Amino acid sequence: MVERGVPDRKVGGMVPSLDIFKIESGDLRWCEAVTSIETAKARIEKLALSSRGNYFIFDQKSGQRIHVNVESGRHGPRVDMG
């Protein structure tokens, strides 16, 4: 498990390479690092329970940025990755 504020800790022998950021008033706030896109989506869903808005995932290996929009859904936050 990755502890908040400890991005380089190994998880199950893997170093997390996906960083989750929240976009706040044009600024970026780093949330945590995870090892898979599935874990990132699940964490954003959990984070969105208390802080809806826009997030993005940055893949340190490929440089890819995945924008994530969190909206109110019928059964909690709905994550739209695009």
Q: What is the domain range of residue 67?
A: 18-81
CB 31 within 8 A of CB 45: no
Mean of pLDDT values over 53-58: 92
In residues, how long is the chain? 82
Instruction: Kindly indicate the confidence band of residue 1, based on its pLDDT and cuts at 50, 70 and 90.
Output: very low
The reply to whether 31 falls in a domain is yes
Residue 73 lies in a domain: yes
Asked whether residue 57 is assigned to any structural domain, the reply reads yes
- 3 occurs within a structural domain: no
Judge whether residue 17 has pLDDT over 50. yes
Q: Is 8 a domain residue?
A: no
What is the model's pLDDT at position 2?
Answer: 42
Q: How many domains does the chain have?
A: 1
Strand 18-24 relative to strand 27-34, pairing:
antiparallel
| Domain-located, residue 29 | yes
Q: 35 lies in a domain?
A: yes
Average pLDDT over residues 54-82: 82
**Residue 11: band (very low, low, confident or very high) from pLDDT cuts 50, 70, 90:** low
**Average per-residue pLDDT for the chain:** 82
CA distance 2 to 15: 10
**Structure-token pair, residue 35:** 């090892």
Is 56 within the bounds of a domain?
A: yes
